[in-house]
Amino acid sequence: MATALSYDPVSSPPVATSGNEVVRVLVVDDDPAYRHLCKRYLSRNDETTYEVVTVANAADAYEQCEKSDFDCILIDYVLPDLMGTQVIRNLGLRMPKEIPPTIIMTAGSGEIAATDAVRAGATDFLSKGVVSAESLARAINNAVEKGRLKQSVNKHGRDLQDANKQLQAKNDEIQRFYQSVSHEVKTPLAAAREFVAIVLDGVAGPVTDEQKEILQYALESCDQITSHFNDLVEMTRLDAAKITMKKTLGSLDSVVTRCLASMASAVKAKELNLITEIETPLPMLHIDSNRVIQVLSNLLGNAIKYTDPGGQITLDISHRTSKRAVQISVTDTGCGIPEKDLPQVFGRLYQVGNTGDELMGAGLGLGLTIAKEIVALHDGEIWAESELGTGSSFVFSLPVAQSIFSEPEIHQ
Amino acid sequence: MKTVLLVEDDKKITLAIGIRLKSMGYEVATAADAVSAVAQARKCKPDVVLLDINLPGGDGFLVAERLQSLMQTSATPIIFITASKQEGLKKRAMELGAVAFLEKPFDATQLADAIEMSLYAPSSFGDEAMQTAQ
């Protein structure tokens, strides 16, 4: 029983095309006997209706393809003026869209022909000597089915690309929206704050002590709005940052320097003792420096805020070789956090309990939630340890940059 | 008496900062868009320019570049103000040689410090200036 030789290692079972379908086939062969044979074989088929067009040379083949669409093209391996594989290549260049599935037919047996056919992009390859009506139909049906599958996959790919483009555009639109809203909110907020400050400072006339106190509350409310609004906008930006975070290879040195510099005056103002224990050398990390600064600043800021004057803050950075990560911890001697609250400390709704100072404001805000997002985007971990009355320790880890060298450490 | 040119498109902010600056003893000139900002600067030759980055008709950076290219205003210190937390704005401000960069809302002390620094120590451009202005 003749079978079609397929180059596909996973041989696909023959697929019957549905009864009503018309499969248009183009046969390109200079041998009139073979052209006639193909026509005869395919007209005999009960399951499928084949519309067969035959041509004797490449030029006619091109003309036919321009005139109408075919579901499958059978091409003789050796034509008078050029190779069948060349015809396939030419069709690929000439036709505006993808060419239909092609089957190379050869008179000989043929590893060379088969390899050639594959290289030229033919869908299948047939040995003329052993072909029958059934095997011919089967080969054509298989090729048509393969062609349809390929089209479907390509379309899917294009659809995905389009969807992605739309998402990007939507994302940009949302970002612009948030920028705009941010500006619209912060501008009158800044104005309101300044007007309150102007009256409070006596610039608009004398103010009584009671009025001063009231205006001071108004001022602090303004500052709280600003802080929370900034956090809110930051959270929305972080969703976009999942696509736009800029990680580069770098060390924590500049991150630490910049953080400590910006915190210096606050530390001094509260007469806190800031100790740094930084291991050297530290390995290189793959980080978005600005974001990591954000995290560290947030932790240091909290430590400063929740530690009483005269207290101590320790910044500890070490290389955890076993975990292939650098660990950064900020420890304070503040009031601590109740154990039952520890798991929720990074959540959006967490609020510190009674701090005794009502004016301190509503809790830790979104800072820790943002910090957690950023650390997660770096594939790191963040957690808190605390003892009521003794202090708290906020720790996060950042994975060491993967490099082809086994020893990733670089001496500072 | 020293003159401050305040370039800001929001009327209320202009009013608030204007009152504050006058109470500090400065003469105040105002402009509400990029084009009139440059015109005003050439007319009243301010001692320092307080420049909002978001302006109709071109942003604050363009105004700064223009002022720096004109002989009468090329040495005038510039303080940028903005409501936006966009990264890169501060960097660009620094690159243009701004004396300071203030984020709204800022308080009177920050403003006073920034202006004092630009009037009396204009050579202290750069990173330190940026830090203290925060």
Strand A325-332 relative to strand A312-320, pairing? antiparallel
Lowest mean pLDDT among A80-84, A88-92, A203-207, A400-404: A400-404
Query: Which pair of structure tokens corresponds to residue B102?
Result: 């203030």
For residue B48, list its beta bridge partners.
B4
Residue pair A237/A175 in contact by the 8 Å Cβ criterion: yes
Residue B43 identity (one-letter amino acid): K
> For A202-217, what is the mean pLDDT?
94
Residue pair A292/A369 in contact by the 8 Å Cβ criterion: no
Residue pair B102/B110 in contact by the 8 Å Cβ criterion: yes
The confidence band for A45, taking pLDDT boundaries of 50, 70 and 90, is: confident
Average pLDDT, chain A: 84
The CA distance from A217 to A348, in Å, is: 25
Helix (H, G, I), strand (E, B) or coil at B74: coil
Q: How far away is chain A from the Cα of B37, in angstroms, using its nearest Cα? A: 20
The CA distance from A388 to A188, in Å, is: 41
The CA distance from A28 to A74, in Å, is: 6
Residue pair B47/A221 in contact by the 8 Å Cβ criterion: no
H-state helical runs in A11-132: 32-43, 58-67, 84-94, 111-120
Positions of E strands within A240-340: 248-250, 273-278, 285-287, 312-320, 325-332
Distance spanning both ends of chain A, measured CA to CA: 75
Helix (H, G, I), strand (E, B) or coil at A164: helix
Q: Give A334-364 pLDDT, tens digit per residue.
A: 888 888 888 888 876 555 544 444 333 344 4
Lowest mean pLDDT among A70-84, A153-167, A172-186: A172-186
Residue A184: predicted pLDDT:
87
Residue A350: predicted pLDDT:
57
Q: Which residue has the higher pLDDT, A9 or A197?
A: A197
Residue pair A283/A401 in contact by the 8 Å Cβ criterion: yes
Residue pair B124/B117 in contact by the 8 Å Cβ criterion: yes
- Cross-chain residue pair B131–A262, CB shorter than 8 Å: yes
Residue with tokens 């393809």: A65
Residue B118 identity (one-letter amino acid): S
The CA distance from B119 to B117, in Å, is: 6
Q: Is the per-residue pLDDT at A50 higher than 70?
A: yes
Contact of B126 with chain A, judged by CB distance below 8 Å, is answered with: no
Instruction: Sort out which chain A residues have CB atoms less than 8 A from B84's CB and list them.
Output: 179, 182-183
pLDDT tens string, chain B, 134 residues long: the values are 899 999 999 999 999 999 999 999 999 999 999 999 999 999 999 999 999 998 887 789 999 999 999 988 888 999 999 887 777 888 888 888 888 889 888 888 889 999 998 888 755 444 444 444 44
- Global ipTM: 0.79
- Cross-chain residue pair B105–A233, CB shorter than 8 Å: no
Residue pair A104/A113 in contact by the 8 Å Cβ criterion: yes
Query: Which pair of structure tokens corresponds to residue A29?
Result: 């062969």
The confidence band for A136, taking pLDDT boundaries of 50, 70 and 90, is: very high
For residue A313, list its beta bridge partners.
A274, A332
Chain B: residue whose CA lies nearest to A184:
B83
Contact of B83 with chain A, judged by CB distance below 8 Å, is answered with: yes
The confidence band for A249, taking pLDDT boundaries of 50, 70 and 90, is: confident
Peptide bond into B105 cis (omega under 30): yes
The CA distance from B132 to B109, in Å, is: 11
B70-109 per-residue burial string, b: 16 or more CB within 10 A, e: under 16: eeebeebbbbbbbbeeeeebbebbbebebbbbbbbbbebe
The continuous run of DSSP H or E covering A169 comes out as helix A133-200
User: pTM of this prediction?
Assistant: 0.54
- Cross-chain residue pair A194–B134, CB shorter than 8 Å: no
Nearest to A378 by CA among A340, A412, A327: A327
Residue A72: predicted pLDDT:
95
- Cross-chain residue pair B83–A190, CB shorter than 8 Å: yes
Contact of B105 with chain A, judged by CB distance below 8 Å, is answered with: yes
The CA distance from A76 to A31, in Å, is: 9
